[in-house]
Structure 1
Amino acid sequence: MKKTKKSNKLSKITKNFTVQRFFMVIVTVLIAFIIIETGAQPTRYKLNAGDVSTNDIVAPREVVNEVLTEENRISARDNVEQVYKEDTQAFIQVIYKKDDFFKAVSTARLSVEKKMKELGLSPGSKNYNQYLKEAEEAAQESLANKLKELSVQLSEEQTAYLVSRVSDSETEAFEVLTKQLISQSMSEVITQSNLDIHIQNLRNSYNNEQGISDELKDIGGQLAGSILRPNQVIDNEATEKKRQDAYNNEANIVKIKKGSRVISFGDIVTMDKLKILEELNLLETKERYDYLFSLGIFVTLLFLTGIAAVFLRKYNKKIYKSRKELFLLCLIVIIMLVLARYLFPFYGGLIIPIFVGTMLISILLNFELAVVINCVLTVCISLMLKGDYKFLYMGLVCGAISAFLVTKAHQRSRLSMNGVLLGLINAVFIVFINFIEKSDAATILKESAAVFLNGIVSMILTIGLLPFLESAFGIVTPLKLLEISNPNHPLLKRLLMEAPGTYHHSLMVGNLAEVATEDLGGNALLARAGAYFHDVGKLKRPDFFSENQLSENPHERMAPNVSTVVIKAHTVDGAEIAAKYKLPPVIKDIIKQHHGTTLVAYFYYKAKKSESGDEVKQEDYRYEGPKPQTREAAIVMLSDSVEAAVRSMSNKTEEKIEALIRKIIKDKLDDGQLNRCPLTLADLDTIANSFMKVLSGYFHAREQYPEIRELLKKDVFIEAKGEYNIGQAQNNGTIFEEGKKDGGAKVDNN
């Protein structure tokens, strides 16, 4: 039993809106604290390579500059010269290759002589030249194959020259010279790196020799490049040891002593300094927690939250008492803080689209609240930016301007243009702030471009988020109201086709409601849209309402109580149709409230006249309500009644119309239909004047009749479905002719 009581008590507490509101605020403050604290914690230096340091950072202990140390080590290792050792086989291999070359040449030349001797041919013999040519070609081919094996590259012409055109003395002289030059070259230090130089020097030596032909000089150059090789090779083991010794040399280590300044104010952060800060745990540290700093941020957030709460409670109670609107406000604040937290490290505060939150609040909730929350958000984000005064100034000034820009923008195209305008305002503002700071042209140009794009991107994000937030929270913006008020809306087109009389009545009611609401400073677009759809319930039975009847009146064959049920049902039917067409909740509220709990007078008095009149209860002939809860709903109710009553008048003069308007408003007030909406007597007078302003424009050409106030006192204003009409009192005032609009019978206005 005790557990049940505790459970019921706990459930009652959790369902209490004050508790829910407190919970939402606390959760928002905690999330905001975590976001801001992680971004503003002073032990965490938000620095990247290339940034300009805004702090003097001192090393708390001795630390090695690992980046510079590693650079020194690599440089020392890479600058170590390679260690060589002598290749004892190199000279022998070169000499052998040289000997093989000349042996091959000699063999080829001797093969020609041998071939001619075998053929028994001498220079005077018949066909001697022919066989000599064949023998030389065979010798050339044999020599070419041998040179290929030796990797000596000679042309066919050079091979032919060695076989058939050079003399033996020239060959011997060439061989002696080659041996001498190669021996001389191989006596020097030849490595892989300077091999090309020695080859070129050897070729130059051949070219400078006067005792051989040019052809042999070219052959010698080719031979030098083919057979010369390094006599010194890299000692990999010794070289690696030398490099390792150079790498590990203590002279390469760069140390920063304890108390030495790592980075000075204004220094460019280099990779080695960044590494030092990381080594010293001064970047993104999580080990040293500054409790006093965090407490300061938390208390600051409480102050800012308190300011916003007091403003809501004192100047905007509607949002203060609305669960969904308060949640929307908290959500927008959190989204903006998250965006700021993860954007400012890339380019400071100038790219943070703080205007998104301000504009969303201005469009979805309230302009004054948007300005207040803009200040709160700017201060919160400034805590993370650690003194970025440019963002602070821009956020406070341009943020307020952005809230103003969207208040009068009722079309998305206008919003887009305002995004460009906001970007220009941002750019101009930042230019003059930079003038104060004497910034250079490059800084001015870069920051101006950044804030210009910020304004455009902020508007793009705002336009993109609006439909989702409107749908998720059921909030109606001017943009949404304009969309649904478009004559091409499916429900309005259906109303025009199926109930044209109701459609035209609704248009006139919309005109009256819009002007009156605008004069009161209310939501004129909402009043117009609500008026357009207030009678959509008549689509279910359009012929039962007089403005849509062409001949027969179905109510003449129906009992009064049945007619009343049909008439009253159009508010409920209208709400159902509105839900089917996904109209906003505020429009559905106007549909349900536009008659309040008014009496369906004609059918009530008709029932009273019947035989069972004594048993008729008035509450059975009243609309189910609820009564209008807002100014807009109340104005639509009054506009509906006034339009129907004035339209049924036969003699329309300004005096008659004004008297009728004020009579209708007084009757609604006396009937208690305006008890739940925030309208004052002064507001009702303004509404009456607004109605006259509209209706006098329609009927200004009417003839002015003499004083009719006495006649009006005799007229009885009856209501069927909540609209008043002038009817002639009959049968001692106990029964009245049915109102033209809703009852369906004609009015005898004499």
Structure 2
Amino acid sequence: MSKDKTMDIHGNFKTYIKDKRIQRIILAVLTIVLSYLIILNGAAPKKYKLALDGKSDYDITAPRDIVNTIVTEQNARKVSDAEPADMTEIRNASIEVINTTVDFIGLIEKSRKNSSKKIAESLDSDDKKYNDKVLDIQEKEAAILNKEIEKLNIILSYDQVLFFISKASEEDIQKFETVLRELVGDIMEQDVTEDNISQKVVQLQNSIIYTDLRQEIKNIALILSKYILKPNRTVNAVTTKAKKELAYEIALNAPENIVKIEKGDRILSKGDVVTKDKLKILEELNLLETSGRFDYPFAIGILVIILLISLLLILYMNNFCKKVFYNRNDLILLSLLILVTLLVARLVFEVSTLTIPIFIAAALISILLDLRLAIIVNFLLTLSISLMTNGEMKFMLLGAITGTFTAFIVSRTSYHRNSLSMGGLIIGFINVLTIVSVDLIGKYPAKTILSESIIVMVNGFISIVLTIGLLPYLETLFNIVTPIRLLELGNPNQPLLKRLLMEAPGTYHHSLMVGNLAEVGAEAVGGNSLLARVAAYFHDIGKLKRPSFFMENQMSGNPHDKMTANLSTLVITSHIHDGVEIAKKYRIPLVIRDIIIQHHGTTLVAYFYHKAKNVEKDEGVDEANFRYDGEKPSTKEAAVVMLADSVEAAVRSMPDKTEGKIEGLVRKIIKDKLDDGQLDQCNLTLKDLDNIARAFMKVFGGYFHAREEYPDIKREEKNLKPQDEVDNSEISNVKKL
């Protein structure tokens, strides 16, 4: 093979590996394979080669409590078969039927109004062909109505539809609606199933016949009844099966039938004859060696379950946690936490399943990645580890219940490490509450309840202690911003903020105000208010490179007076890229650096653009040269910081700060950003923008509240006119020009 060809292959391979989609696939496959090997190793029991009526060559003890089911199995099955089927309500079925009825009437009323409006607007009552033209309009409206009704999966004849428009009175329609809704509501309060729906249709039709509706409307209602009704109950196969299985379990657990071998008790001793009941117990415990080879069915079963669990996680993340799903670092962290949890579970479950620290994964994922992801991963890990514990109910309930509580608790207490410690005590208490309840159900002795309560209490607390210990390392290693880290970054003693205060005090105080606005704005739209506030503190750190070029830092003189508009624009717009470079130097997290580069988007530096056109009379002015070359906000937090930055600078420059004028300017700036396309890439709705404006006004209302004017102080009237295009702090920076 030639050298050039080898280099091409090597280059193609590197390009292939750098593909993010390929990286995700490789990571997923690696995680699944390692998880499978860990779980398979833990789940595979030791096998014994035994035969019925043969002698045992082993001393075999029970790895868990086991009930001899041979005596009671037949009676239990009879009880199970006698259980009636469980009916389940079809959610919203009755509401959908009522809504269809209302929609049907609504379409009729709409068509009648449209018809009346067209007749009133386009026809003269003195016209000799007035009636013909009226009928023509009504027929056209009926054709439209017929198509609309068909969308409701209701089929009526054209003449029947036309009747509603041309012949039925308002009283007829109202009476029809009242009667139909009442009769349909009565039917849907009953159990309507696929099996009896035809009977319910007949019942509805019989009720319609005995109403005092016009005969034509009765006929239509009789036809309508065939289309409106739908089942609101169904046989719930899952719950029916669960009921039968529950009845079976109850029968099996009847005291007079139970022959129980407790965990650690001897099933067979060396030399014992293998009886049918002992063989059955060993089969249920999966301790029989059916062949001398590897148990492929068992391994395949485990593999399929792991693949299904993995697929569930992938589908969930792709639909509800896209941010994590498409972030390589987050995926690596998630895989690491899953594998470590499984490995620790494999090492300790043989001592006691109650010592498995599954809560660590739930806590770390909730803090570092996403609360919803922590909940689903906790459930899936519980299922996966239960394969190693042979489905032990105590562990499954403990993992499912307390693990979920852990995710919620740490998500709300993750602002302080001390709060996390208190959360550990709460989690330990929930552990105790869960295990005591399970033991009471299982009729365990008080000694067992006490010992297990101590174990799970210590497990819960130690899990949180380990979480606190691992958190700083994982934050740094994977560049993840947690509330704790945000609070540390927002501390005024943070080196970069101290430098901003000393070198650019005007920018510092502007950033504090923007932080206040951004916090309430983000909170108003369900964003991360803490992230928005801290990001706002750092959004203008690029001004540290040339602080005197920004008005809030100028003590005397304005360097822009001696510069062309193009050069001034270049200086002003460069602060976003300067900010990113400074942030990298000070190890500011990526999510904040993204907001720095996005907080002006691609907005126009309007002041210098108009200066170039109107003052410098530059005929070759290109608007693109006067726009920021940043990125448009891609998150709620970035958009809120952009808006907060713009309105703070604009409001500060207003000569007359009345509430009405401030609100008008705030809403105008937000609208300008929207019209300019700066908010196209973030998921903010018009309702969100209104909420942001209201939140901003609460802050400005407290900041610029009215004060009594001292009689000996004369105020100077300033002839400053707010720029229509004010949209960023840099415009106010050069207000003197």
TM-score bin (small chain)? 0.5 to 0.7
Q: Is the 8 A contact 1:506 1:532 kept in 2?
A: yes
Whole-Å separation in 1 of the counterparts to 2:466 and 2:585: 30
Q: Are positions 1:391 and 2:395 aligned together? A: yes
CA positional deviation for 1:425: 1.4
Partner of residue 481, structure 1: 486
Partner of residue 27, structure 1: 30
Partner of residue 710, structure 1: none
Partner of residue 333, structure 2: 328
Q: Are positions 1:493 and 2:493 aligned together? A: no
Partner of residue 158, structure 2: none
CA positional deviation for 1:691: 1.0
Whole-Å separation in 2 of the counterparts to 1:456 and 1:298: 33
Whole-Å separation in 1 of the counterparts to 2:550 and 2:289: 73
Q: Are positions 1:363 and 2:367 aligned together? A: yes
- Where 1:296 maps in the other structure, the secondary structure is helix
Cα-to-partner distance string for 1:176-213 (whole Å, 9 max, x where unaligned):
xxxxxxxxxxxxxxxxxxxxxxxxxxxxxxxxxxxxxx
- Where 2:679 maps in the other structure, the secondary structure is coil
Flag the 1:329–1:667 CA change in 2: closer, same or farther, 3 A.
Answer: same
Q: Are positions 1:403 and 2:410 aligned together? A: no
- Where 2:349 maps in the other structure, the secondary structure is helix
Paired letter, 2:46: T
Q: Are positions 1:511 and 2:507 aligned together? A: no
- Where 2:569 maps in the other structure, the secondary structure is helix
Flag the 1:607–1:342 CA change in 2: closer, same or farther, 3 A.
Answer: same
Flag the 1:62–1:675 CA change in 2: closer, same or farther, 3 A.
Answer: closer
Partner of residue 313, structure 1: 318
- Where 2:588 maps in the other structure, the secondary structure is coil
Q: Is the 8 A contact 2:56 2:271 kept in 1?
A: no
Q: Is the 8 A contact 1:520 1:683 kept in 2?
A: yes
Q: Are positions 1:647 and 2:638 aligned together? A: no
Q: Is the 8 A contact 2:506 2:553 kept in 1?
A: yes
Partner of residue 588, structure 1: 593
Flag the 1:452–1:694 CA change in 2: closer, same or farther, 3 A.
Answer: same
Aligned mate of 1:266, from 262, 270, 273: 262
Flag the 1:661–1:58 CA change in 2: closer, same or farther, 3 A.
Answer: farther
Partner of residue 718, structure 1: 725
Q: Is the 8 A contact 2:504 2:544 kept in 1?
A: yes
CA positional deviation for 1:611: 5.6
Paired letter, 2:734: G
Q: Is the 8 A contact 1:599 1:719 kept in 2?
A: no
- Where 1:613 maps in the other structure, the secondary structure is coil
Q: Map 1:415-430 onto structure 2 (within 5 A).
A: 415-430=420-435
Aligned mate of 1:538, from 515, 540, 543: 543
Whole-Å separation in 2 of the counterparts to 1:624 and 1:538: 16
Q: Are positions 1:745 and 2:731 aligned together? A: no
> In the comparison of the two structures, how many residue pairs are matched?
513
Q: Is the 8 A contact 1:652 1:702 kept in 2?
A: no
Partner of residue 379, structure 1: 383
Paired letter, 1:17: K
Flag the 1:60–1:395 CA change in 2: closer, same or farther, 3 A.
Answer: farther
Whole-Å separation in 2 of the counterparts to 1:64 and 1:21: 48
Whole-Å separation in 2 of the counterparts to 1:274 and 1:697: 85
CA positional deviation for 1:284: 13
Whole-Å separation in 2 of the counterparts to 1:58 and 1:702: 97
Flag the 1:508–1:366 CA change in 2: closer, same or farther, 3 A.
Answer: same
Whole-Å separation in 2 of the counterparts to 1:547 and 1:468: 39
Paired letter, 2:358: I
Q: Map 1:543-554 onto structure 2 (within 5 A).
A: 543-554=548-559
User: Computing the radius of gyration over CA atoms, which structure comes out larger, 1 or 2?
Assistant: 1
- TM (norm. structure 1) is 0.63
- Where 2:725 maps in the other structure, the secondary structure is strand
Whole-Å separation in 2 of the counterparts to 1:470 and 1:59: 61
Whole-Å separation in 1 of the counterparts to 2:11 and 2:684: 39
Whole-Å separation in 2 of the counterparts to 1:284 and 1:532: 67
Q: Is the 8 A contact 1:43 1:285 kept in 2?
A: no
Flag the 1:289–1:655 CA change in 2: closer, same or farther, 3 A.
Answer: same
Whole-Å separation in 2 of the counterparts to 1:671 and 1:685: 17
Whole-Å separation in 2 of the counterparts to 1:469 and 1:57: 53
Flag the 1:377–1:614 CA change in 2: closer, same or farther, 3 A.
Answer: same
- Where 1:596 maps in the other structure, the secondary structure is coil
Whole-Å separation in 2 of the counterparts to 1:4 and 1:13: 14
CA positional deviation for 1:616: 2.7
Paired letter, 1:266: E
Whole-Å separation in 2 of the counterparts to 1:268 and 1:718: 80
Q: Is the 8 A contact 2:524 2:688 kept in 1?
A: no
Q: Is the 8 A contact 2:650 2:722 kept in 1?
A: no
Cα-to-partner distance string for 1:10-69 (whole Å, 9 max, x where unaligned):
555444333332222222111111000000013359xxxxxxxxx99999766488xxxx
Q: Map 1:213-252 onto structure 2 (within 5 A).
A: none
Q: Is the 8 A contact 2:354 2:452 kept in 1?
A: yes
Q: Is the 8 A contact 1:665 1:684 kept in 2?
A: yes
Whole-Å separation in 2 of the counterparts to 1:466 and 1:62: 52
Cα-to-partner distance string for 1:529-565 (whole Å, 9 max, x where unaligned):
1001111111222111111112211211222222222
Q: Is the 8 A contact 1:351 1:454 kept in 2?
A: yes
CA RMSD of aligned residues (A): 3.4
CA positional deviation for 1:567: 1.2
- Where 1:673 maps in the other structure, the secondary structure is coil
Flag the 1:645–1:60 CA change in 2: closer, same or farther, 3 A.
Answer: farther
Whole-Å separation in 2 of the counterparts to 1:612 and 1:351: 78
CA positional deviation for 1:412: 0.7
- TM (norm. structure 2) is 0.65
CA positional deviation for 1:702: 6.9
Flag the 1:557–1:651 CA change in 2: closer, same or farther, 3 A.
Answer: same
Paired letter, 1:717: D
Flag the 1:58–1:9 CA change in 2: closer, same or farther, 3 A.
Answer: farther
Flag the 1:291–1:606 CA change in 2: closer, same or farther, 3 A.
Answer: same
Aligned mate of 2:691, from 686, 703, 714: 686
| Large movers: runs of 4+ above 6 Å | 1-9, 55-62, 272-276, 282-287
Whole-Å separation in 2 of the counterparts to 1:284 and 1:406: 45
Identity %: 51
Q: Map 1:71-150 onto structure 2 (within 5 A).
A: none
Whole-Å separation in 1 of the counterparts to 2:27 and 2:440: 43
Cα-to-partner distance string for 1:410-452 (whole Å, 9 max, x where unaligned):
1111001111111111112211211112212221111111101
CA positional deviation for 1:393: 0.5
Whole-Å separation in 1 of the counterparts to 2:365 and 2:389: 23
Whole-Å separation in 1 of the counterparts to 2:12 and 2:678: 37
Flag the 1:362–1:60 CA change in 2: closer, same or farther, 3 A.
Answer: farther
Q: Are positions 1:349 and 2:353 aligned together? A: yes
Unaligned runs of 5+ in 1: 46-54, 66-263, 277-281, 704-713, 725-738
Unaligned runs of 5+ in 2: 60-259, 273-286, 709-720
Whole-Å separation in 2 of the counterparts to 1:431 and 1:57: 40
Paired letter, 1:345: E
Q: Map 1:405-484 onto structure 2 (within 5 A).
A: 405-409=409-413, 410-484=415-489
Whole-Å separation in 1 of the counterparts to 2:561 and 2:645: 24
Whole-Å separation in 2 of the counterparts to 1:380 and 1:393: 13
Q: Map 1:515-534 onto structure 2 (within 5 A).
A: 515-534=520-539
Whole-Å separation in 1 of the counterparts to 2:347 and 2:430: 25
Whole-Å separation in 2 of the counterparts to 1:11 and 1:372: 34
Q: Is the 8 A contact 2:55 2:271 kept in 1?
A: no
Q: Map 1:32-51 onto structure 2 (within 5 A).
A: 32-43=35-46
Flag the 1:579–1:13 CA change in 2: closer, same or farther, 3 A.
Answer: closer
Q: Is the 8 A contact 1:353 1:454 kept in 2?
A: yes
- Where 2:619 maps in the other structure, the secondary structure is helix
Flag the 1:450–1:620 CA change in 2: closer, same or farther, 3 A.
Answer: same
Whole-Å separation in 2 of the counterparts to 1:40 and 1:674: 52
CA positional deviation for 1:609: 3.6
